[in-house]
Amino acid sequence: MEPKVIDLKDWLFKACDEGEWLTAQVPGCVHTDLFRSGKIPDPFYGTHEHDLQWIDKKDWEYETVFSISEELGAESRLELVFDGLDTYADVYVNGELTLTADNMFRRWRVDIKERIVSGDNRISVRFRSPILEDLPKLERLGYTLPAANDQSVLGGLEDKKVSVFARKAPYHYGWDWGPRFVTSGIWRPCRIEAWSGARISDLYIRQDEISPESAQLTAIVTIESVEALDAELTLTSEGLHWDTEMSLNPGTQIIELPVSITNPKLWWSRGLGEPNLYTFHASLKQKESIVASASVRTGLRSVKLIRDADETGTSFYFELNGIPVYAKGANHIPNDSFLPEVSDERYRHEISSAAEANMNMLRVWGGGIYEADIFYELCDEYGLMVWQDFMFACSMYPGDKLFLANVQQEAEDNLTRLRNHPSIVLWCGNNEIDLAWAHYNENAGWGWKRQYSAELREKIWADYEAIFHKILPEAVARFAPVAEYWPSSPLVSLSRDENQHANPRRTSGDIHYWGVWHNKEPFDNYNVYVGRFMSEYGFQSFPEPKTVKTYADEESMTLESNIMLAHQKHGSGNQLIKSYMDMYTKEPRDFESFLYMSQLQQAEAMKTAIEAHRSRKPYCMGTLYWQMNDCWPVASWSGIDYFGRWKALHYLVKRSFRDVSLVITQKGDTVSVHLISNVSLPFQGTLHLRLFNFTGDKLQEFSLPVQAEAQASVILYQSSSVELLGNHDPAAVVLLAELVQAGATTDSKEHYFVRDKDLKLCAPTVTVTEVPGKGGTTFNVACNSFARQVWLSTETEGIFSDNFFDLIPGLPKMVSFLQRSPGEARFLPSSPETLSVRSLADCVQTESIR
């Protein structure tokens, strides 16, 4: 049977050099425990981050007392299990050192039966400062390894970057969107598991060959036995049954059971079919009594990363069940600086938001964590593919034997934990390290290698190759043998010459394009630098005023205030937002208008990029923007802020990622209307084109029949802007394209012939009227003159079915309000408490933002 579990509760904590014990929350961390105890202010407010850097220089101790019943004490094994210890920890049971941990990403398990006494038992976990633990390693190494985002100066360490030595979430040391909070604590659940006889410690359903006709699987069952047993292993799923007889010896053994399923229900990503899931139950029986059992849920699918040579380079796309998939999604970072604060409900909100926005992929970025089980379970359920990085990013790492052995065990632990999830379609070694070091090209990279001697360069690169070209791919091949592995993102190929390293002009591999933003390049360059798979690109904005007010007072609501700068981790980020605004839009009326307009600008940048990528299908087969979410309230590249509030970007993405989508491009004088399909059915319908002026007069109208093959990328219509505009003012008209099938609008897009800065907008009156019979959940939104970027807002937490949209007089839009549903990964219709509306014309004037 399943092990009997004792949850460890009622924890206390204190600084090791102090005597006062305080109440702790486990799972938790020191920072949140100190905050709840009233010992520190809100870490996210104002500039408090700067004042709390002392916490990571101290050692901390956690303690609890528990008792074991006589019944549990009679079990053969009493195992103390920590699903996560952050990071350097010594665990004592009744005063005896029982376990030493040194990796945040690993699960720790030890038998403590011989150390348990009748009555009270005490467990103490002493966390050593990750800073003081790793500074000596830096001294012994004798040189600093690159760690581009380690905010060591803020941490009071000058240039001593020690993050690379700890197997701990890299973003805890700071990033260009996140604060520096180097945490310690019992960050995932802990317990005591009591069991006797035998237990099934792991059940893996290896998918050997999958097709619509049959699924050939192998159930790999890891059994731990205290004694010799003759037993029967039974596997069941969906009314099917497989079994085998066996003789077990004391210790650990692995049993492989062949499994065949005829006409399986396959797992599909969103847009291609249902994400069907199977639950497999394994039981170990002795004389008809079940002595051990385990269950896993998985989806049956085949996934391949297709990299075939073609006339322009080499393809890069995922093939799911034999069907090429265009990946649409974003890069995911941890949802909080303090990871135990991320509830299941917050995960549900993120994944349901991704699904609502028509995404089919999330990339779990390598500077965070291997996510909680529920993250992958939700991706499985929703048909969201996962690109999974190993936790290495933007740094070079040491290569000593202890570090490499730790990495090897980390890979085994996480591959074993996550390998049954059908959503995970790729394991990637790291984020941007091959690009940054650029070993084979002296003039490429981020300049890191130039600070080292030739001998040291070779040593650092050999250490890199040991991890990413040997340990990690070998671990994937051993523990998740049908999974795909990609050494680094971005990368051209593992050619071991200068052709290995990515740049935006490459026609093979995946691309991170940051010319727009970091290099101040114009938005139109998104149309120039289109790779085979765009795995990173992005543009910043501020969160909405309601979020900004959670960390800043009224006096600080200026662009260059200390608080606003503290919540902008990119060195020149605020000024970059302002510079682009000067380029593309009119001057905001006030600071709150600036916040709103920063979101419009971000959305417009990402619209340009996404449409450039999708219109180049099948040359480009993936677009994952940076970034999905935030770990604290901040100005960043996210489409959803820390509180789960959708920015303009996320609403834009929902429209731009539709499975059958229109894209309107203009190159010079030529206007083209594209149809992009991500579904496996042909399309037949009608394209309607109408040109309106800003008072709602229809200036032109025509329609044409549309036919497109499944998975198509075709140009439906092409014309010169002169022919479309006639004698009408290009700054005072809008082109509306609508794709209609069977009387329903599949997609619609607006096109403008000038920049927002040059549009001749008048202040519109926008009316919002309840739709009768909808219980106050649905509204008609209309205007008397053209309204650009209409923003509906409410104090009630939730989303609108559409928002940040354009309104043409005479063409009202019906919009519903949807509230987050606690405990469910979905949104439900609801009536907002208050409702306000504004548009771009309400927010511009000539005064400058301070």
* 819, 798 contact by CB (below 8 A): yes
In the block, tokens 């379970």 appear at 377
pLDDT score, position 850: 30
Closest CA to 361 of 683, 604, 678: 678
Q: Rg for the chain (alpha carbons), in Å?
A: 28
Enclosing H/E stretch for 133: helix 130-141
Band of residue 849 on the pLDDT scale cut at 50, 70, 90: very low
Say whether 432 is catalytic: yes
Query: Using an 8 Å Cβ cutoff, are 548 and 647 in contact?
Result: no
Question: Are 785 and 694 a contacting pair, CB within 8 Å?
Answer: yes
Cα angle 383, 385, 388; round to 5: 145
Those residues whose C-beta lies under 8 Å from the C-beta of residue 772, and which sit 6 or more positions away, are none
- DSSP state for residue 535 in the 8-state scheme: E
Which fold would CATH assign to domain 659-760? Immunoglobulin-like (2.60.40)
Distance from C-alpha of 600 to C-alpha of 300, rounded to nearest angstrom: 41
User: How many whole angstroms separate alpha carbon 333 and alpha carbon 365?
Assistant: 6
In 663-798, alpha helices (H) = 721-725
Q: Indicate the pTM of the whole model.
A: 0.96
Per-residue pLDDT tens for 396-439? Answer: 999 999 999 999 999 999 999 999 999 999 999 999 999 999 99
Q: Say whether pLDDT at 846 is over 90.
A: no
Give the chain's largest Cα–Cα span: 93
* Backbone torsion region of residue 142, taken as left when φ is above 0, otherwise alpha when ψ lies between -120 and 50, otherwise beta: left
Q: Which two tokens stand for residue 659?
A: 């499975």
Count CB neighbours of 134 within 10 A.
21
pLDDT tens digit string along 802-835?
A: 999 999 999 999 999 998 777 666 788 899 988 9
- Strands 85-86 and 185-186, by their bridges, are antiparallel
Q: What is the mean pLDDT of residues 588-592?
A: 95
Domain ranges (residues) in the chain? 4-192, 197-298, 312-656, 659-760, 761-850
Q: Say how far apart CA 175 and CA 177 lie, in whole Å.
A: 5
Position of tokens 């609108």?
Answer: 800
**Helical (H) or strand (E) element with 705:** strand 698-708
| Interatomic CA distance for residues 705 and 80, integer angstroms | 67
Same fold, 197-298 and 761-850: yes
Q: Give yes or no for residue 848 having a pLDDT over 50.
A: no
Q: Which pair of structure tokens corresponds to residue 664?
A: 């309107």
The per-residue pLDDT for range 739-759, each reduced to its tens digit, is 999 999 999 999 999 999 999
State how far Cα 774 lies from the chain centre.
Answer: 35
- CA–CA separation, 650 and 630 (whole Å): 13
Residue 195, both tokens: 């069991």
Q: Cα separation of 706 and 59, whole Å?
A: 68
Token look-up 């260009």 returns: 176
**Rounded alpha-carbon distances, angstroms, from residue 7 to 11, 189, 194, 638, 760:** 11, 9, 11, 37, 65
For residues 112-138, average pLDDT: 96
Contacts 24+ apart (CB under 8 A), 445-450: 445/501, 446/146, 446/148, 448/146, 448/396
Strands 622-625 and 683-693, by their bridges, are: unpaired
Cβ distance 329 to 364 under 8 Å? no
pLDDT value at residue 823: 67
Q: Where are the beta strands (DSSP E) in 211-288?
A: 214-225, 229-237, 240-248, 251-262, 278-286
Question: Average per-residue pLDDT in the chain?
Answer: 95
- Dist. CA 339–CA 26, nearest whole Å: 12
> pLDDT (tens digit, 9 = 90+) per residue, 213-229?
999 999 999 999 999 98
Contacts 24+ apart (CB under 8 A), 245-251: 248/198, 248/223, 249/225, 250/225, 250/226, 251/224, 251/225
Query: Which pLDDT score, from 0 to 100, does residue 1 have?
Result: 63
Q: What gap in Å lies between CA 267 and CA 264, rounded to an integer?
A: 9
Query: Tell me, what's the pLDDT at 261?
Result: 97
Give the pLDDT confidence of 504-523 residue by residue, as tens digits: 999 999 999 999 999 999 99
Domain 4-192 CATH superfamily: Galactose-binding domain-like (2.60.120.260)
If DSSP states are collapsed to H, E and C, what string results for 661-691?
EEEEEEECCEEEEEEEECCCCCEEEEEEEEE
How far apart CA 174 and CA 430 sit, in angstroms, is 18
How is residue 849 annotated by DSSP? P
pLDDT score for 456 = 97
Q: At residue 610, what is the residue type?
A: I
Domain 312-656 fold: TIM Barrel (3.20.20)
CATH of span 197-298: 2.60.40.10
pLDDT mean over 460-489? 97
pLDDT the model gives residue 824:
66
What are the tens digits of pLDDT across the range 433-449? 999 999 999 999 999 99
Strand 778-783 versus strand 185-186 pairing type: unpaired
Active-site hit among 377, 432, 484, 604? 432
- Residue 716 is which amino acid? L
Q: Which phi and psi (to 5°) does residue 205 adopt?
A: -100, 95
> What's the average model confidence in pLDDT over 685-713?
95
Instruction: Look at the block and give the residue holding tokens 């260059």.
Output: 560
562-594 burial code (b ≥16 CB/10 A, e <16): ebbbbbbbbeebbebbbebbeebbbbbbebbbb
CATH class, domain 761-850, is mainly beta
Length of the chain, in residues = 850
Residue 390: how many other CB atoms lie within 10 Å: 26
Provide φ and ψ at 816, rounded to 5°: -110, 150
The string of DSSP codes covering 38-78 is TSS--TTSTTHHHHTTTGGGS-EEEEEEEE--HHHHTSSEE
pLDDT for res 213:
97
Model confidence at 135: pLDDT above 60: yes
Give me 612's structure tokens: 């450039």
Alpha-carbon span 738 to 748, nearest angstrom = 4
CB 486 within 8 A of CB 392: no
HSE (side-chain half, CA atoms, 13 Å) at 36: 15
Q: Which is nearest to 276 in space by CA: 237, 222, 243, 244?
A: 237
pLDDT at position 46: 98
Residue keyed to tokens 């265009």: 326
Both structure tokens of 373 = 């089980």
